[in-house]
């Protein structure tokens, strides 16, 4: 989606009283563990070209400096991509702030699964 279209959608969503959606790293970790996957990406619905990127490769979290993801939106839905399957993966955020990249709670879920 082009920048003007995204901006227009954001303005319309704000006017409608929509809340921000932020990527849910803990849910993503749980899904990754449950499915035993080694590769996963994350991005915003309808805007993957500008917001998506790898978050898990070769069975490990991708370092923040080695990827680009923007995972908070008032109009688009944060998604997890596993083998081409897009899974809604978000929680409401009170502000337009992105969740910490691979927070400790999510990393612990991955580590606990490895034993």
Q: Could you report the per-residue pLDDT of 41-50, keeping only the tens digit for each?
A: 999 998 899 9
pLDDT at 94: 73
Domain holding 57, by residue range, is: 3-114
Q: Which residues contact 90 (CB under 8 A, 6 or more apart)?
A: 21, 22, 23, 24, 77, 78
Nearest to 82 by CA among 113, 38, 27: 38
pLDDT in 10s for each residue of the chain, 115 residues: 555 455 455 555 455 656 889 999 999 999 999 999 999 999 999 889 999 999 999 999 999 999 999 999 888 999 999 999 999 999 998 766 667 899 999 999 999 887 6
- Residue 69 CA to residue 28 CA, distance in Å, equals 14
pTM: 0.83
Total domains in the chain come to: 1
């Amino acid at each position: 989606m082009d920048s003007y279209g995204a901006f227009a959608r954001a303005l319309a969503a704000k006017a409608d009283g929509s809340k921000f959606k932020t990527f849910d790293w803990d849910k993503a970790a749980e899904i990754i563990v449950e499915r035993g996957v080694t590769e996963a990406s994350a991005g915003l619905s309808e805007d993957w070209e500008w917001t998506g990127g790898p978050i898990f490769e070769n069975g490990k979290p991708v370092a923040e400096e080695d990827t680009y993801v923007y995972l908070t939106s008032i109009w688009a839905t944060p998604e997890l991509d596993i083998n081409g399957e897009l899974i809604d993966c978000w929680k409401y955020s009170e502000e337009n702030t992105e969740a910490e990249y691979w927070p400790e709670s999510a990393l612990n879920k991955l580590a606990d699964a490895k034993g």
